[in-house]
Chain A
Amino acid sequence: MFYYSIKRLLMLIPVLLGMTLIVFAIIHAIPGNPALTILGTKATPEAIHSLNRSLGLDNPWYIQYFSYLKDILSGDLGTSIQTHTPIASEIWPHLAATIELSFIAMIIAVFVGINAGIISAWKQNTVLDYTAMILALIGVSMPVFWLGLLEQWGFSIKLQWLPSIGRDDIRNSVDPITNLYLLDTLLQGRFDQFWMVLRHLILPSIALATIPTAIIARMTRSSMLEVLKSDYIRTAKAKGQKMVWIVYKYALKNAFIPILTVIGLQTGLLLGGAILTETIFGWPGVGLYIYNAIQYRDYPVIQSGILVIAFIFVMVNFVVDLLYGLFDPRIKYR
């Protein structure tokens, strides 16, 4: 297991390097001079030339790439053109907001998706099965931003049950410690604020969770159907074990590997979907950070935002890969 982890970690290096190269290439392929973007259209040619030199933009591309790589490795993600602040220092609150939102969305997706899939497989070809699968089909076909808008209309505007924008109330804002607001409010013993933060999380996390929930439900159903037909399940049934016990204790464990793979892959969808969800709900995460940077053509922020999200996605899949063995001891690490 240890050697496998090291081997897998080493295999990540070319992927991570390739990611930096692609992001670097994309940003350098964008038409227009970054110095001109920073200085504005009224800048003199001398000022542009001097900034080009100080930014290293007059060097060949490979020198620029290695310098970029060196910066990243030393934790320097560049400086925002818009705020003139180092991105590494301003990205964390945004990243924490996205992590909190994606985490809650993933919990919803896993809980609802797995249970819907189990019930669907258990009650195959019944009304329950058909209903769950029709809902799952609509779920995978639903644009996140449309669902988000409908939620806002229904639950915020019409029913006025839940807030539609932001992470907290302006008049009762959270004092950040880790910037994970649920955790911060608990650490401060502010349960009223914890409830407020949770209420803000409900609509965006449900919108974000829809597609992953539907995909996990479909995967769980097909995976469970296969396992429920196996001999050991028939034996357990013959021994008179309760069906709930059989399904959740024995069958789910064996059906879990493909489900786990899907969960890992859905992280990418969640992180990508965050840009749409955050835009609608004014959620100050990395998605909204990148969206605002796009509007302002703040390329260093776009570059680093995309890189950070891709990095998290790769690492989550790395962890999922290592988790396989925990759920299925038959898997041998080599």
Chain B
Amino acid sequence: MPQASQAQLDPSGAPAKSPMTFALGEFWKSFRKNKPAIAGTIIVLLFIFFAIFAGFLAPQGINDQNIRLKLQPPSAAHWFGTDDFGRDILSRILFGARLSLRVGFLSVIGSIVVGTLLGIIAGYFGKALDVIISRFFDILLAFPSILLSIAIVAILGPSLNNALVAIAIVNVPVFGRLVRSRVLTVKEEEYVMAARSIGMGDARIIFQHILPNSIAPIIVQGTLNIATAILDAAGLGFLGMGAQAPLPEWGKMLSDSREYIQTAPWTVLFPGLAIVLVVVGFNLIGDGLRDALDPRMKN
């Protein structure tokens, strides 16, 4: 127990730190120095706050229509103006944060779970399974992601949930390949060989050694992928293949407002700005996490 004895000998008398706490401490020290990453964290936390408390923050309901007030420019009563049904755009954007963040987080979690599973099977067990899974990844990656998502939504039917599933499927190979390459590296490490030589089973080796050593790149890629998932969901919504009316999904809001761009440009401006801001936030966090968790990936 070298760590315990070191801690006991610690002249400062501080309580013993586990390796995990130590790693988290190191990570936080590096992450908090990264100003853009902190800015990104603040932006994302703000949007999460909007999403959770939209019911309290929104001045109006998402479907409160008032035709007499349609296409009103931004004013004290309607900070972001109103749309063609006289609905308050700010309220719809605040509620829309729920939809976009839900698609971003859930689709990436789905891709990570399936991708990690396939990546581990391919990398750890190798042979024919590796060939089959790797070729499957190659084939999926041969399609531009938005086109494959469109094709999948065509099967499932256009809806926000189906767009979420499509985006998750399209991103599976991204995580699958990443995990596979980590597994190939880690399984040749001496400590894994040692674990195997003392009779440790495959499942224990995978969960105790291989997975923990693959988490850093997965977190980095996951954060960056939330950004692209939000963009893809907005794109699908814009094409009518994602969220359906009257859901206040930002891409759908843009597509519904595009014919009013000449007379009411604010209907297009604010939903787009919301998308850009939240995506910038996740990209900044992703870059910061990469620098803090995996300095080798920095450049």
On A, residues with C-beta under 8 Å from B are 14-15, 18-19, 22-23, 26-27, 29-31, 137-138, 140-146, 149-150, 152-153, 157, 222-223, 225-226, 268-269, 271-273, 275-276, 279-280, 290-291, 294-295, 299, 302, 306, 309-310, 313-314
Task: Tell me the smallest distance from the CB of A24 to a CB of chain B, in Å.
Answer: 11
Beyond A143-B231, A275-B146, A275-B147, list 6 extra A-B contacts (CB 8 Å): A26-B151, A142-B276, A150-B268, A222-B299, A302-B154, A306-B148
Q: How far is B138's CA from A268's CA once the two chains are assembled, in angstroms?
A: 13
Q: What is the total number of residues of chain B having a CB less than 8 Å from a CB of chain A? A: 45
A153 to B268, CA, bound (A): 10
Give the distance to chain A from B294, nearest Cβ to Cβ, in Å: 14
Smallest CB separation, B120 vs chain A (Å): 22
A310 touches B144 (CB 8 A): yes
Kindly name the residue among A144, A146, A313, A314 whose own CB sees the greatest number of chain B CB atoms within 10 A.
A146
Least distance between A131 CB and chain B CB atoms (Å) = 14
> Are the C-beta atoms of B155 and A275 separated by less than 8 Å?
no
Question: Do A19 and B144 have beta carbons less than 8 Å apart?
Answer: no
Mask for B263-299, Cβ within 8 A of A = 1, else 0?
Answer: 0010011011001100110011000000000000011
Which residues on the A side are within 8 Å of B243 (C-beta)?
none
- Which residues from chain B contact A294 at a C-beta distance below 8 Å? 150, 154, 239-241
The answer to whether A310 and B151 have CB atoms under 8 Å apart is no
Give the interface of B toward A (CB within 8 A): 135-136, 138-140, 142-148, 150-152, 154-155, 157, 227, 231, 234-235, 238-241, 251, 254-255, 258, 261-262, 265, 268-269, 271-272, 275-276, 279-280, 283-284, 298-299
Contact A314 B142 (CB under 8 A): yes
Complex alpha-carbon distance, A143 and B253, angstroms:
13
Within 8 Å CB of A276, what residues of B?
146, 235, 238-239
Separation in Å of the B101 CB from the closest CB of chain A? 15
Interface of A is mostly: helix
Contact B272 A272 (CB under 8 A): no
Neighbouring B residues of A15 by C-beta, 8 Å = 135, 138-139, 142
Residues of B contacting A314 in the complex (Cβ-Cβ under 8 angstroms): 142
Neighbouring B residues of A30 by C-beta, 8 Å = 154-155
Least distance between A280 CB and chain B CB atoms (Å) = 8
In the assembled complex, the Cα of A268 lies from the Cα of B144 at a distance in Å of 5
Query: What's the nearest-Cβ distance from chain A to residue B116, in Å?
Result: 22
A291 touching B276, Cβ below 8 Å? no
Q: In angstroms, how far is the closest chain B Cβ from the Cβ of A137? A: 6
Chain B residues whose C-beta falls within 8 Å of the C-beta of A290 in the assembled complex: 147, 150
Q: Which residues of B contact A153 (CB under 8 A)?
A: 261-262, 265, 268
> Bound complex: CA of A265 vs CA of B54, how far in Å?
38
User: Given A152-B261, A279-B239, do A143 and B272 touch, yes or no (CB 8 Å)?
Assistant: yes
